[in-house]
Amino acid sequence: MPRQPVVTNGFTVYSGPIMALRTYTKNEATNWPVPNYWDLIALCIIFGLIVLVAWGGAQMDRPYNVGQTITLSLNPSHLPMYAVRTVLRMFIALFCSLIFTFCIGTWAAKNKKAERIIIPIIDVLQSVPVLSFLAIGVPLFIALFKGSLMGPECAAIFAIFTSQVWNMVLSFYQSMSSIPKDLREATAIFQLSAWQRFWRLEIPYAMPGLLWNMMMSMSGSWFFVTACEAISIAHQTITLPGVGSYIALAITHADKAAIVYAIITMLIVIFLYDQCLFRPLVQWSEKFKFEEVLSERISRSWVVNLFQRTHVLRHFGTVFTTFFDSFVNIKPLNRHKKVSVIKKSDLHRKVTTAITNIIITALLIYAVYLIEQYLQHTVTWHDILKTLELGGITAIRVIVLIFLCSLIWVPVGVWIGFRPRVAATIQPIIQFLAAFPMNLLFPVVAMWIVKYKLNINIWVSPLMVLGTQWYILFNVIAGASTIPEELRLVTRNLGVKGLVRWKRLILPGIFPFFVTGAITAAGGAWNASIIAEAISWGNIKLTAAGLGAYITHFSRLGNFPQIALGTIMMCLFVLVINRIIWRPLYNLATERFRAE
């Protein structure tokens, strides 16, 4: 059950997963305090961020025509400017991903019919290569923003969005599906509307897991930023200033010093946004943990300490909280639904379901017809069988790699998740490792394979999972950290150890999170195959057998029918594997929590 309300200095604070409800007096909203020097420091930071965002936004809307060359320099003095452009794109994509997550994740969790359609679609979309999204997005956005750099910028943001959003949606959907029954009953007793329940219970309950997946999304987007900022489609290269395009240029020129400068820049940028954004959010999300025993707290954030010492900005926080309460309690959205006495007949339900199924079937048949008409003159049965064979090779790589990564990172993730102070220390390190673009290892891998004459089909495989294995670790950490402290104390007092403790406490607690991480890691590995199976360093170009290399090859040639064939085949493989392996495990995990 949630903790009892605590009254402190006239404030009523409800502690636990349900978001705090506060009442402020009129004087608190109208009397402005005298600013102190902490206000000055905080305002300098805020205005500095505003200036950087405004400058980056102005650079996005410069005049540009297709075919125009955008010059880049490997001079390290340009890297701060490139870093601002890249991080701005990533945070715009993250904001769009968050809005998409709240809408689609909620819809899937609350509507069974929508769930049957949305979740399989996400299973497919998370495996669609970034190059395929770019092939669709670049012409569309360039036509939409003709004569402006905003077209390629929006295409890059769209591609980054597709590399961030899917694991966030699955995490939010999984959390909303596993909200304990007693918390739902508490919101019913307090007569909260669906709108109030969303903001007071569902978002706070899902926030710890969602926050770790947001961090993973930011780190994972670094993995694809090279392809997003250095776009090569149909013999046309569009290069956007950024760290990703800087890395691509350094790889083309085999400039090792530039690679080192890019790594240092990434390390500084990740450290800054971890300290300024994610560390405060982690501290904030701790109060939403569902537990009755006070657990060890994560170390404080210096940003939170700074703003807590201010006078004026803390008052702004009071005003914002009052505004947020008004937003949550807005009357048009807080009407309680009355239960209708008249129920729909079984015949009405059957007719509605039949009509829905007929419409969906007709749309699928029409889509298959369009694909067949589009591909029949350019794709042969030999091409289809070839992609089927290449897809099988890539599938074997993905399954083996995910299994090995699970054996390694599940115990490590549980150990970190049970120790909040360790998690706080290691969090930025994991973010940097997750953000490390695997193409920076191309020099080592390429020269190693050439020097020792290694089998490329085996030794490029680790590159596929290098950036996606962290989905498993991040989700296991999130799952372990949400296991209530009282359950851990009970098992400790009863002397439950070893395999019994894993079987009775740890595995049931982290299982939904692990399955979410494994699904997204597998989808990310399929996506990463477009880079891992075709590596280059200067004049060295190595290609492994696989569907990713097939898509990369025809993307460079601009052969859209072959790109479409490879993408469709990859989606079919992922969909079949998810239906056979991951989805039954996911349903088992969510149904177990729904039943409690």
- Region 198-214: mean pLDDT is 87
Residues ≥6 apart with Cβ < 8 Å to 488: 418, 505
User: Which band of pLDDT confidence, cut at 50, 70 and 90, is reported for residue 7?
Assistant: very low
pLDDT at 239: 85
Highest mean pLDDT among 10-14, 191-195, 444-448 belongs to: 191-195
pLDDT at 363: 64
Q: For residue 65, what are the CA distances in angstroms to 62, 331, 565?
A: 10, 49, 30
Which carries the bigger pLDDT value, residue 579 or residue 232? 579
**How does DSSP classify residue 8?**
E
The identity of residue 239, as a single letter, is T
Which carries the bigger pLDDT value, residue 485 or residue 243? 243
User: Which band of pLDDT confidence, cut at 50, 70 and 90, is reported for residue 347?
Assistant: low
**Which of 339-343, 438-442, 499-503 is the least confident region?**
339-343
Partner residues linked to 535 by β-bridges = 542
Q: Rounded distance, CA 289 to CA 17, Å? A: 6
**Which of 87-91, 156-160, 457-461 is the least confident region?**
457-461
Contact 24, 318 (CB under 8 A): yes
pLDDT at 13: 39
pLDDT at 539: 72
Q: What is the pLDDT of residues 546-593, one digit of tens each?
A: 888 888 888 777 677 787 788 888 888 887 887 788 778 767 766 654
User: Which band of pLDDT confidence, cut at 50, 70 and 90, is reported for residue 486?
Assistant: confident
Contact 73, 108 (CB under 8 A): no
Strands 230-233 and 534-537: unpaired
Q: Rounded distance, CA 143 to CA 215, Å? A: 33
User: Which band of pLDDT confidence, cut at 50, 70 and 90, is reported for residue 410?
Assistant: very high
User: Which band of pLDDT confidence, cut at 50, 70 and 90, is reported for residue 337?
Assistant: low
Q: Residue 595 pLDDT > 60, yes or no?
A: no
Q: What is the pLDDT of residues 90-108, one digit of tens each?
A: 999 999 999 999 999 998 8
Q: Residue 342 pLDDT > 60, yes or no?
A: no
Partner residues linked to 536 by β-bridges = 541
543: three-class secondary structure by DSSP: strand
- Region 246-270: mean pLDDT is 86
Q: What is the DSSP string of 386-426?
A: HHHHHHHHHHHHHHHHHHHHHHHHHHHHHHHHT-HHHHHHH
Highest mean pLDDT among 22-31, 349-358, 481-490 belongs to: 481-490
User: Which band of pLDDT confidence, cut at 50, 70 and 90, is reported for residue 60?
Assistant: confident
Residues ≥6 apart with Cβ < 8 Å to 68: none
Using the CB atoms, write b or e for 163-180: b if 16+ within 10 Å: bbbbbbbbbbbbbbbbbe
Identify which of 309, 243, 271, 261 has the alpha carbon closest to the alpha carbon of residue 432.
271
- Which tokens sit at 281? 């959010």
pLDDT at 85: 92
Q: What is the largest CA-CA distance in the chain?
A: 78
Q: Rounded distance, CA 211 to CA 282, Å? A: 7
Among residues of the chain, what percentage have pLDDT more than 90? 9
pLDDT at 8: 38
Q: Does domain 6-335+379-595 have CATH number 1.10.3720.10?
A: yes
Q: Rounded distance, CA 233 to CA 140, Å? A: 13
Residues ≥6 apart with Cβ < 8 Å to 294: 485
Strands, E, within 531-586: which ranges?
534-537, 540-543
- Region 66-84: mean pLDDT is 86
- Region 277-289: mean pLDDT is 80
Place of tokens 């994610």: 278
- Which tokens sit at 284? 């904030």
Q: Residue 503 pLDDT > 70, yes or no?
A: yes
Domain residue limits, the chain: 6-335+379-595
Contact 530, 548 (CB under 8 A): yes
User: Which band of pLDDT confidence, cut at 50, 70 and 90, is reported for residue 86?
Assistant: very high
**How does DSSP classify residue 146?**
T
pLDDT at 236: 66
**Which of 75-84, 230-239, 253-262, 394-403 is the least confident region?**
230-239
Q: Residue 404 pLDDT > 60, yes or no?
A: yes
pLDDT at 412: 92
- Region 493-521: mean pLDDT is 85
Which carries the bigger pLDDT value, residue 158 or residue 335? 158
Contact 133, 159 (CB under 8 A): yes
